[in-house]
């Protein structure tokens, strides 16, 4: 582990910064939180409830000698609470346990789609409340504080390869992640002049407690996903943590309004399952 002096000397260091990472008790969010702590940043975890996974992630963050706290909140309540009120409550809760947040990672999200012809308004609204409304208003709340205090804040969204590519039975989810990609571009134009940097990271398929149950128990699914990924890998969520640190760090100080895909090349491969008899014999560019 590097010393505090080594971390401070690196453009990738987050020493002196404090981050809120929503949806960070497990999966991609946990990987981001642990990577921030490893880079020297204090971190406030967020989840629906305190459980064993939350305590495990807290312990992993604290082993790097930083302050790590936890707040619990539902960012997409089914009652009539507005997205603005929900964002206000979470921001106040975070301020009470870890003041001085200057890094916001909007990671919390959900996938609850049914096939399009069966999709319900309830599931659609839940998807949009958590995947779009929550990051919009949380960013607004923290940006207001940063502008008033003269803080050079940094915002990172967790988008998805599905914001660019489509899958059957993912219509609401894909629409929400497409909205996140557009939001990042517009927030760049609105907030960069105020010294606030906004970017997005868009993972492809990575192993998490949710996806691992499928990949580990179905060899055909695992082979299929590797076939459609040029580097042939389906890594764990740690690859997202390292990318998040880069985008939040001074090393990315001139990167604004971008979505960086962390997908092993999946999004650029036009014909991954071309029959062997056609490889090298078919010019698909014309």
- Residue 3: pLDDT band by 50, 70, 90 thresholds? low
Q: What are phi and psi of 23, to 5 degrees?
A: 60, 50
- Residue 279: pLDDT band by 50, 70, 90 thresholds? low
- What pLDDT digit, counting tens, does each position of 108-129 carry? 999 999 999 999 999 999 999 9
Determine what percent of the chain is predicted with pLDDT higher than 90.
71
Q: Was domain 4-262 assigned CATH 3.40.630.10?
A: no
- Residue 55: pLDDT band by 50, 70, 90 thresholds? very high
Task: Return the higher-pLDDT residue of 221 and 39.
Answer: 39
Q: What are phi and psi of 252, to 5 degrees?
A: -110, 30
Residue 37 has pLDDT above 60, yes or no: yes
Whether 173 is catalytic is yes
pLDDT at 219: 74
CB 206 within 8 A of CB 236: yes
pLDDT at 228: 78
Question: What is the per-residue DSSP string for 101-168?
Answer: --EEEE---------GGG--HHHHHHHHIIIIIHHHHHHHHHHHHHHHHT---EEEEE--GGGTS--T
- Residue 148: pLDDT band by 50, 70, 90 thresholds? very high
Residue 282 has pLDDT above 90, yes or no: no
Separation CA 245–CA 10 (nearest Å): 12
pTM: 0.90
Residue 221 has pLDDT above 90, yes or no: no
Q: Which two tokens stand for residue 84?
A: 């603005």
For the chain, the maximum distance between any two Cα atoms, rounded to a whole number of angstroms, is 64
Q: What are phi and psi of 259, to 5 degrees?
A: -115, 115
pLDDT at 266: 85
Task: Return the higher-pLDDT residue of 231 and 14.
Answer: 14
- Mean pLDDT over each residue of the chain, to the nearest integer: 89
- What pLDDT digit, counting tens, does each position of 151-174 carry? 999 999 999 998 998 888 999 999
Task: Return the higher-pLDDT residue of 92 and 219.
Answer: 92
Average pLDDT estimate for 7-27: 90
Question: Which one of the listed residues 137, 142, 146, 173 is annotated catalytic?
Answer: 173
pLDDT at 272: 75
pLDDT at 284: 42
Separation CA 63–CA 59 (nearest Å): 6
Q: Which two tokens stand for residue 9?
A: 């000397």
- Residue 283: pLDDT band by 50, 70, 90 thresholds? very low
Task: Return the higher-pLDDT residue of 26 and 279.
Answer: 26
- What pLDDT digit, counting tens, does each position of 174-187 carry? 999 999 999 999 99
- Residue 285: pLDDT band by 50, 70, 90 thresholds? very low
């Amino acid at each position: 582990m590097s010393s505090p002096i080594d971390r401070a000397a690196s453009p990738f260091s987050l020493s002196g910064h404090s981050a809120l990472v929503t949806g960070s008790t497990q999966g991609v969010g946990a990987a981001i939180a642990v990577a921030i702590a490893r880079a020297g940043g204090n971190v406030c975890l967020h989840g629906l409830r305190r459980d064993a996974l939350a305590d495990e992630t807290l312990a992993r963050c604290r082993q790097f000698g930083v302050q790590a706290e936890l707040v619990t909140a539902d960012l997409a309540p089914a009652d009539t609470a507005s997205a603005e009120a929900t964002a206000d409550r979470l921001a106040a809760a975070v301020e009470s346990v870890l003041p001085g947040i200057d890094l916001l990672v909007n990671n919390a999200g959900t996938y609850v789609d049914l096939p399009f012809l069966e999709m319900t308004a309830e599931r659609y609204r839940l998807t949009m409340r958590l995947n779009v409304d929550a990051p919009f208003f949380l960013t607004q709340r923290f940006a207001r504080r940063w502008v008033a205090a003269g803080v050079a804040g940094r915002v990172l969204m967790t988008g998805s390869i599905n914001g660019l590519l489509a899958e059957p039975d993912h219509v609401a989810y894909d629409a929400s992640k497409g909205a996140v990609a557009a939001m990042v571009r517009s927030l760049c134009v609105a907030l960069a002049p105020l010294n606030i940097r906004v970017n997005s990271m868009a993972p492809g398929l990575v192993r998490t407690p949710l996806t691992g149950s499928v990949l580990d128990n179905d060899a055909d699914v695992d082979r299929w996903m590797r076939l459609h990924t040029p580097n042939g890998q389906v890594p764990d969520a740690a690859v997202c943590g390292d990318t998040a640190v880069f985008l939040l760090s001074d090393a990315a100080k001139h990167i604004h309004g971008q979505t960086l895909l962390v997908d092993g090349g999946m999004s650029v491969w036009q014909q991954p399952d071309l029959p062997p008899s056609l490889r090298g014999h078919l010019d698909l560019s014309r």
